[in-house]
Chains A and B, each alone.
Chain A
């Protein structure tokens, strides 16, 4: 088996990013739980892990940086340095720079300038006997500062790396080096008794073992920590050389056959617990890597191919079902029908399972917010309590990734525009600390994400004034609250007179809305002056398969996403009205719903043009419900969405295509875009029609 270095490095970089994120999360948690040793250990292990990998691949800048960081963290763990706000801030900035270094290293780009300045800061924060030694001089000498320094203790360490350690990107030499650097090694002996003859030697299997006699001031736990990342797959024995041997198995004098037995025993299961309580915490923490190993990293392209194939299978399956139906009750045997039903069930389940592979918890996006909220609120002199909920709610991977930007913008907005300063809040009789909620929940077949704050809310009069000035609202008519809430999604709209550093940059609300709509979702805003604002994003679970309403217009079949359809009806003559100078509406329970003739918008010939003989599907759009005129509703079906961009080219008003059970291709309509297009082709007067219709309600 040859090892693909690029692939290994790819895994390393992904893991390095995860470790970096872990560091950040744990550091933030430490601010509220400063005494939590396990959190500190998490930070340390993460730094140590990145350091180990960067050493293996020879990424020297990364190695230098994480080495320095690790030195400082070690002192924190030993209680020689205490974690105050300044140091917490330094460590957080260090994780930022670490992120930059990882990116630069991955891309082979020059390292960020900030690296040296921050290294100097880290070293200043690391008091002397400290990080033991700079990386260039690995032979650490422990400087005895005063008599209160703990005395050196001899340890006997036995380390037999697991056979597959190389394949995990680990180098036992570096582990041994890290161990030896903890103190003075009086003896480091390689045990090569397992090493086969050159002919039989598998170059990717580890055969060596080490026996080390070490004098160090460190504790046994610290000595064991060196093996934190190899312990699961390796044999590690640490014993105090002062103490008598507990069993002959633990000594190097044991015979080879005994030794092998011990190795096998330890490798096949977790290391049996022989430690006291002091070790319990550490063991708990070690469970995680073991669990991680039961996961497999798979290229998303492979999963997508699989999903694509399942999609084809679903289509083929529905064709079989349709063919069977065509045969009539007598045309096919009961056994065949049963078999087809069974295949159908299994296909659906297979589809669900494969789709589940692509699902990621939304927490992977939410994770960034604690840090962001902390930094932003500090820079604005505000106090914000962030409450996150529903991190475990899962969404399609592609959607989770694309949600990051819009959500970030909403959170920024909430802190920048929404939540007031502590003084303002006090004057308003509110608690000084504002609260920002980011919550995800499952609701039916979709996921709803809410970003809400208890800030000042939106001043509607200011929105109206600004919107009128920008020409975003028709003049002369009093806009409804709904209209005003929609205005904030218009391009170029911002209520702050001065464009702030924060939300003034990057995407505006219009882009947020477009991003959400591109994911097949919808966004709604509500606000109450003095009480706060709420953004509500509704998203489908996946974009690959939707529940659709199949309908006929002329000779053509189209699909409407079911989630957008409110109701369908055949209008009576009393419900159908034309509004002079505006267009047609259908009156539904006292609300005037503008009518969009789909056959016009889509240029379909031979369609039913008389609304009283056709059907109206009422769908939700961002401003108001809209009635779509169609000839006939054929039924409901789960359809596999195929993008037109890949196979043809993008068509405005169409979100994709699908193949129906009878083999026909049907276009899936993008309701929002159809409404936009209808509004545009209906000239500006139709735009105001929506407003007029809304008010008529």
Chain B
């Protein structure tokens, strides 16, 4: 199954949390695996992290894969320091370039 790509941009924080939650819900409802493309993310705050965690839980509960990709170094550092990287299952490899494709 072709994964759905959720592309995030800029500062993903409490200001856009409601929109992010709604969009995450829509993507989750579409079914199938989800790739979150973080290449254009400037920062995540805790409100974003908890939406990502809820999205991950929803997707994985249906037996599908949840992957966060192309997390910029700076963003990754904060996620690693705060345990969010581990909780979100971001591996070293995920910091690499995003493979092309998928609807956003």
A-to-B contact residues, CB < 8 Å: 2-3, 5, 56, 58, 138-139, 161, 166-167, 171-174, 176-177, 180-181, 185, 188-190, 192, 195-199, 201, 203-204, 206-208, 210, 212
Contacts and interface: CB of A to CB of B under 8 A. Distances in A.
Given A5-B15, A190-B87, A173 B78 contact: yes
B14 A203 contact: yes
Contacts of A196: 54
Contact of A171 (B20, B46, B58): B46
Given A180-B82, A203-B47, A198 B25 contact: yes
Given A201-B54, A206-B46, A206-B50, 7 more contacts: A173-B45, A174-B45, A189-B86, A190-B49, A195-B50, A198-B21, A208-B49
Given A3-B15, A138-B77, A176 B82 contact: yes
Given A192-B53, A206-B50, A173 B84 contact: yes
B31 to A, nearest CB: 14
Contacts, number: 106
Contacts of A197: 54, 57-58
B68 interface: no
B55 interface: yes
Interface in B1-41: 11, 13-15, 17-18, 20-21, 24-25, 28
A192 B77 contact: no
B82 A173 contact: yes
A177 B14 CA distance: 18
A139, A161, A201 — most chain B CB neighbours (10 Å): A201
A201 B51 contact: yes
Contacts of A190: 49, 53, 82-84, 86-87
B17 A203 contact: yes
A257 to B, nearest CB: 21
A176 B50 contact: no
B81 interface: yes
A511 B28 CA distance: 67
A210 B81 CA distance: 12
Interface string B43-80: 11111011101110110000000000000000001100
A341 B40 CA distance: 68
A190 B57 CA distance: 14
Contacts of A212: 83
A7 to B, nearest CB: 11
7 contacts: A138-B81, A173-B82, A188-B83, A189-B83, A195-B54, A197-B58, A204-B17
B11 A58 contact: yes
B44, B49, B81, B87 — most chain A CB neighbours (10 Å): B81
A211 B82 CA distance: 10
A139 B57 contact: no
Interface residues of B, number: 33
A247 B99 CA distance: 50
A177 to B, nearest CB: 5
A180 B84 CA distance: 13
A294 B76 CA distance: 38
Contacts of A176: 81-83
A198 B11 CA distance: 20
Contacts of A201: 21, 50-51, 54
Listed from nearest, the 8 A-B pairs whose CB atoms lie closest are A203-B17, A188-B83, A190-B87, A171-B45, A172-B46, A176-B82, A198-B54, A166-B14
A486 to B, nearest CB: 58
A208 B50 CA distance: 7
A171 B46 CA distance: 6
A571 B22 CA distance: 83
B25 A210 contact: no
A188 B81 CA distance: 7
A2 B17 CA distance: 9
A185 B50 CA distance: 21
Contacts of A138: 77-78, 81
Contacts of A192: 50, 53, 57, 87
A208 B44 CA distance: 14
B18 A2 contact: yes
Contacts of B28: 198
A166 B15 CA distance: 10
A3 B44 CA distance: 17
Given A192-B53, A198-B54, A208-B50, A180 B43 contact: no
B90 to A, nearest CB: 12
Nearest to A171: B45
A56 B45 CA distance: 8
Contact of B46 (A173, A180, A188): A173
A58 B12 CA distance: 12
B27 to A, nearest CB: 10
B82 A203 contact: no
B32 to A, nearest CB: 15
A223 to B, nearest CB: 16
B17 A173 contact: no
Contacts of B57: 192, 195, 197-198
A188 B87 CA distance: 10
A180 B81 contact: yes
B14 A204 contact: yes
A457 to B, nearest CB: 60
Contacts of B17: 166, 203-204
A339 B14 CA distance: 52
A5 B81 CA distance: 27
Given A3-B14, A208-B50, A188 B82 contact: yes
Contacts of B86: 188-190
Nearest to A167: B14
Contacts of B44: 173
A192 B46 CA distance: 12
A5 B16 CA distance: 10
Contacts of B54: 195-198, 201
B81 A177 contact: yes
Contacts of B53: 190, 192, 195, 208
A74 to B, nearest CB: 19
Contacts of B49: 173, 190, 208
Nearest to B53: A192
Contacts of A204: 14, 17-18, 47
A161 B14 CA distance: 15
Nearest to A212: B83
Contacts of B83: 176, 188-190, 210, 212
A3 B18 CA distance: 10
B72 to A, nearest CB: 14
